[in-house]
């Protein structure tokens, strides 16, 4: 949704005020009018405006007096003065008081529009810079990391995704990216942003699964001073910080239902309110969302709003799991090796042929993230320059490493359990549980580290572990 520049025309000349407002509206501005200084201040208290065209000579409160009051406002609009005085004195005085510029009547419409656009650009940059100071922006660790804008792939499946991504980068529609944890959805988002018309501005990222529910609204929309206990100063939210840029909503499926309503309103209207404010504000933001959840099922289960799903799913991309694109594994191995050669200052670091065979044959339920973590661990712990097979998949039998898919792992489990009479895992939920508990065990019970490897938030991991505990409790009670 393209953001309209909001302009307030303040002039006591009824004909001129109506003419300017009408012409600006026809040129694509969101134009409104006020007949005097006090009326303009009342209007600005209720509605957020980007630029004010303010006549200097008006009965009652003069334009200069109104300018002084406007400059005292939080998040004040830029002011362009209108004057019939051809001398420089009034214009210079207005600039000294904080006006962006001044125009001499009768001003040409194209000149007026150009000044308005420049004033709006100044205000947008000021707000964006202030927003960036007020919020935490999740950016790649470095330009050389996997999280940078270059995509590493060789498979036809990923080539098709990249082609779709390049098309999506050229349009400004809301985008939903789906795929399992660890497949590289965040990398694809940055790739799209870096090739979009918004590439000159920093992408703003928020992990919806890591944000406490009580803080969602304040983090997204900001809050006014005194809006609630502890709100000691004005805070600009992520929406304001992303004005003119891209806002990446990672793990959007974890967004609480009450917040989903407000997010939908912003997507529909392009307007929002800070917590504790009575003024609407606008922002030009492209939303890209990503999730590892099956949102249509969440819609059926009433965990996700159908209208928000449809609004997010204007353009959609699906990133296939690594097991469905094994041709990418050799290229990813070389890419990660290059990173760790530099990081550990070991230019001769390499992977043995047998280790490569195991890496290329394994099913990687944790996808690219698991492959990366596996290679980083092996590189960090290896004592020589050659990473051997025993170091790449510790705790997993070499035969299991070559079976590849989760289905094959399940078949292997069935075979190994055949003599014991144990019931093998038979559902995706059981496979997921098995994988989560295995990663948790490998990290020594470190839940934060396990969540990072799994590609889920710590909150999601805690929830799943609680579900497992409830299931075990129910089983115990049933057995008793």
Contacts of 227 (CB under 8 A, 6+ apart): 218, 274, 275, 276, 277
DSSP 385-416: SEE-HHHHSTTS-HHHHHH-SHHHHHHHHHHH
DSSP conformational letter for 223: B
CA distance 165 to 147: 16
Interior angle at CA 130, CA 127 and CA 135, nearest 5: 120
Measure Cα distances from 222 to 126, 234, 249, 262, 409 in Å: 16, 8, 16, 13, 48
Both tokens assigned to 138 = 């999740």
Q: What is the pLDDT along the chain (480 residues), one digit of tens a residue?
A: 567 889 999 998 888 888 889 889 888 898 999 999 999 998 888 777 889 999 888 888 988 999 989 988 877 889 998 887 766 666 777 777 888 888 887 778 888 888 898 888 878 766 665 554 444 333 433 443 333 457 899 999 999 999 999 999 999 899 999 999 999 999 999 999 999 999 888 898 888 887 777 788 888 898 888 887 777 777 888 888 888 899 999 999 999 998 999 999 999 988 898 888 888 888 899 999 999 999 999 999 999 999 999 999 999 999 999 999 999 999 999 999 998 998 888 899 999 999 999 999 999 998 999 999 899 888 888 888 899 888 887 555 344 444 444 444 444 444 444 444 444 444 556 667 787 888 887 777 778 777 777 777 777 887 888 777 766 655 444 444
Evaluate whether 32 touches 43 at the Cβ level (below 8 Å). Answer: yes
Residues forming a β-bridge with 81: 54, 102
Q: Which residue in the block uniquely carries the two structure tokens 């060789």?
A: 154
CA distance 55 to 378: 70
Secondary structure element (H or E) that encloses residue 248, with its range: strand 246-250
Both tokens assigned to 123 = 């205000």
DSSP 208-222: TTTS-GGGHHHHHH-
SS3 of 50-75: the string is CEEEEECCCCCCCHHHHHHHHHCCCC
Both tokens assigned to 357 = 């065979």
Both tokens assigned to 241 = 């910080």
What is the length of the chain?
480
Q: Is 31 helix (H, G, I), strand (E, B) or coil?
A: strand
Interior angle at CA 276, CA 70 and CA 216, nearest 5: 125
* Count of C-beta atoms within a 10 Å radius of residue 6: 21
Evaluate whether 175 touches 348 at the Cβ level (below 8 Å). Answer: no
Label residues 336-347 b or e (16+ Cβ within 10 Å = b): bbebbbeeeeee
DSSP conformational letter for 322: G
C-alpha closest to that of 460 among 182, 141, 207, 217? 207
Starting at the earlier edge strand, list the strands of the sheet with 30-34. Answer: 30-34, 6-10, 51-55, 78-83, 101-104
Q: Which residue in the block uniquely carries the two structure tokens 């995509």?
A: 151
C-alpha closest to that of 204 among 170, 237, 171, 241? 241
């Amino acid at each position: 949704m393209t953001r309209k520049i909001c302009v307030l025309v303040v002039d006591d000349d009824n004909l001129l005020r109506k003419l300017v407002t009408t012409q600006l509206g026809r040129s694509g501005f969101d134009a409104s009018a006020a007949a005097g200084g006090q009326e303009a201040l009342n209007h600005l208290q209720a509605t957020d405006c980007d630029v004010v065209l303010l006549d200097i000579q008006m009965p009652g409160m003069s334009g200069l007096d109104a300018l002084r009051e406007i400059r005292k406002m939080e998040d004040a609009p830029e002011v362009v003065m209108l004057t019939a005085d051809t001398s420089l004195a009034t214009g210079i005085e207005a600039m000294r008081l904080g006006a962006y510029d001044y125009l001499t009547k009768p001003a040409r419409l194209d000149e007026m529009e150009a000044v308005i656009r420049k004033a709006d650009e100044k205000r947008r940059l000021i707000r964006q810079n202030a927003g960036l100071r007020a919020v935490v922006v999740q950016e790649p660790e470095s330009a050389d990391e996997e999280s940078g804008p270059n995509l590493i792939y060789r498979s036809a499946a990923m080539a098709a995704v990249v082609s779709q991504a390049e098309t999506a980068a050229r349009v400004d529609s809301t985008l939903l990216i789906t795929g399992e944890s660890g497949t590289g959805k965040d990398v694809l988002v940055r790739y799209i942003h870096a090739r979009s018309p918004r590439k000159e501005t920093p992408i703003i990222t928020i992990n919806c699964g890591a944000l406490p529910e009580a803080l969602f609204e304040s983090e997204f929309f900001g809050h006014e001073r005194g809006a609630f206990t502890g709100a000691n100063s004005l805070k600009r939210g992520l929406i304001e910080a992303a004005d003119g840029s891209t806002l990446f909503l990672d793990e959007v499926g974890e967004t609480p239902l009450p917040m989903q309503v407000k997010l939908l309103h912003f997507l529909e209207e392009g307007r929002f309110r800070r917590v504790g404010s009575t003024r609407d504000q606008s922002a030009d933001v492209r939303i890209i969302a990503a999730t590892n959840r099956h949102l249509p099922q969440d819609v059926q289960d009433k965990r996700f709003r159908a209208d928000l799903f449809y609004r997010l799913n204007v353009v959609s991309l699906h990133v296939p799991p690594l097991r469905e694109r094994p041709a990418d594994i050799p290229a990813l191995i070389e890419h990660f090796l290059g990173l760790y050669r530099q990081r550990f200052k070991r230019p001769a670091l390499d992977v043995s042929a047998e280790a490569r065979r195991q890496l290329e044959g394994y099913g990687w339920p944790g996808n690219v993230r698991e492959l990366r973590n596996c290679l980083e661990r092996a590189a960090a712990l290896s004592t020589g320059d050659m990473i051997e097979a025993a170091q790449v998949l510790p705790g997993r039998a070499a035969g299991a490493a070559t079976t590849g898919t989760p289905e094959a792992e399940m078949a292997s489990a069935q075979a190994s359990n055949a003599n014991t009479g144990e019931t093998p895992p038979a559902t995706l939920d059981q496979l997921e549980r098995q994988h989560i508990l295995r990663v948790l065990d490998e990290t020594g019970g470190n839940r934060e580290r396990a969540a990072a490897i799994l590609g889920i938030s710590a909150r999601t991991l805690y929830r799943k572990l609680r579900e497992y505990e409830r299931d075990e409790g129910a089983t115990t009670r049933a057995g008793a």
